[in-house]
Amino acid sequence: MNPSEWFTEIVPVAQSAFSLKIKQKLHEEYSEFQHLEIYETEEFGNLMVIDGCTMVSTRDNFFYHEMMSHPALYTHPNPKRVWIIGGGDCGTLKEVLKHASVEHAVQIDIDERVTRLAEIYFPELCESNNDPRADLKFIDGIKWVKDAAPNSVDIIIVDSTDPVGPAEGLFSEAFYRDCFACLSENGMVVQQSESALYHLKLIGEMRNAMSNAGFGHLQTLFFPQCLYPSGWWSATIASKSDLSTFREQDSANKAFDTVFYNSDIHKASLAQPEFVKKVFSLK
């Protein structure tokens, strides 16, 4: 396909590709850390691409942002302090701050340019950036967690790119140990864990690393995300406390709007496909 008319992300591990028809390229730059591109597409609104990989679009970002935030926040008994590692487009921050219990949300992204471009091309995702509970930091998230004091945070959301380049260290046992050390009594970390269809081995390795870091309770949830490889994505929660129930009534009676997430979706996302069970035992 003509690259002036289509953006295509090729996924070598699966010998597949995903394309969106574009109207025009709106912006391109090389930041200190990565290659950033913004396109206007025919049907998906604006599209952000980092190092050749699709990151966020106007049309379908709600799947990812809602499922990276609300399941964890409704599983924790009383989430007050939340950190988002990555998440420079600010969509996850927006969802987190819909919860009235949250008193302080810190977003830590190493690349400020991602946020500044999101403010221009995805302003709807950045509408909570000036919330008095929000604190945006443009520093190394791995170092932030490593230097944090015990009992500093209730939930850590790792809204990262794929486990290469600046994000590689966010998928390590050492990082999970640092998360465990600074989390509160019922603390949990939730991390995007790629596609179960394409990256099941990675999910298994993540879960083992989380267990080895001290987390006794794990939960992997699944949701659609057509922009990402295979169209089927996941997030994995590692917790110090039981994950078998969530605040279902609070979820059902939530005082804010969502596009995808609700209490039934929460329960459905935890269903375990047979082929996943056969590869490793989900706890």
3-state secondary structure 104-172: EEEEECCCHHHHHHHHHHCHHHHCCCCCCCEEEECCCHHHHHHHCCCCCEEEEEEECCCCCHHHHHHHC
Write the pLDDT tens digit of every residue in 211-239: 999 999 999 999 999 999 999 999 999 99
Contacts with 191 (C-beta within 8 Å, 6 or more apart), sequence order: 157, 158, 160, 170, 171, 206, 235, 236, 238
Out of 3.90.1150.10, 3.30.360.10, 3.40.50.150, 3.20.20.150, select the CATH number for domain 61-279. Answer: 3.40.50.150
Q: What is the pLDDT of residue 198?
A: 95
Question: What percent of the chain is modeled with pLDDT above 90?
Answer: 89
Write the pLDDT tens digit of every residue in 85-118: 999 999 999 999 999 999 999 999 999 999 999 9
Q: What is the pLDDT of residue 88?
A: 96
Task: Indicate the range of 161-165, 171-175, 217-221 predicted with least confidence.
Answer: 161-165
Please tell me the CATH code under which domain 6-57 is placed. 2.30.140.10
Q: What is the pLDDT of residue 82?
A: 98
CATH 3.40.50.150 domain extents, the chain: 61-279
Q: What is the pLDDT of residue 283?
A: 46
State the pTM of this model: 0.95
Tokens of 7: 């953006």
* Catalytically annotated residues: 159
Query: Helix-strand-coil percent breakdown of the chain, rounded to 5?
Result: 35, 30, 35
